[in-house]
Amino acid sequence: MDFILIKEAYIDPIYPIIAFIAFAASGWAAYNGYKLYNVTKGASDFWMFLSAFMGSITVYSGLLFARTTFLVEFEIPIKALQDLTIIAAAVYAALAAIYIKRMFDTLSK
């Protein structure tokens, strides 16, 4: 009975729309971030980690979109995958933070 209630909560059409906007925005950010990394020719590693962070968020919101539209019955495994991607995003965000500091330390020397 609880499982049916969870499924009904996600039928509201606003959730797929919100998830799709998040998916498109994060994909665009990851694409631009990766292009910036290529332009700087790897001079600033933090762009790599920042685009990896955005990429993980893209996968996360893509899974959210899939979970709320055509893969509703696979709710539990997709939620587990989302946890995995959000942990990856957190690791990349922390690495990007360290590399921003490192980049400014080398610039100020």
Partner 1 sequence: MVSIAKHAKEMFFGGTIVTILFFLVIGFMYPATNVDVSNGNTMPFYTDGQNIMGQWTHWFANLFFTGALLLLGKALYSTFLKMDMTEWNWFAFGSFLLFIYGLSSVASGLFDYNLFMIIGDLLLPIGLLLISYSVYKIYEPFEEA
78 near partner 1, rule: CB under 8 A: no
Closest separation in Å from C-beta 42 to partner 1: 14
CA dihedral of residues 64, 66, 71, 75 (deg, nearest 10): -10
98 near partner 1, rule: CB under 8 A: yes
- Concatenated DSSP letters of 14-83: HHHHHHHHHHHHHHHHHHHHHHHHHHTTTSSHHHHHHHHHHHHHHHHHHHHHHHHTT-GGGHHHHHHHHH
Among 4, 13, 39, 42, binds partner 1 (CB under 8 A): 39
Question: Binding residues for partner 1, per CB under 8 A?
Answer: 2, 5-6, 15, 18-19, 21-22, 25-26, 28-29, 32-33, 35-36, 39-40, 53-54, 57, 61, 76, 79-80, 83, 86-87, 89-91, 93-94, 96-98, 100-101, 104
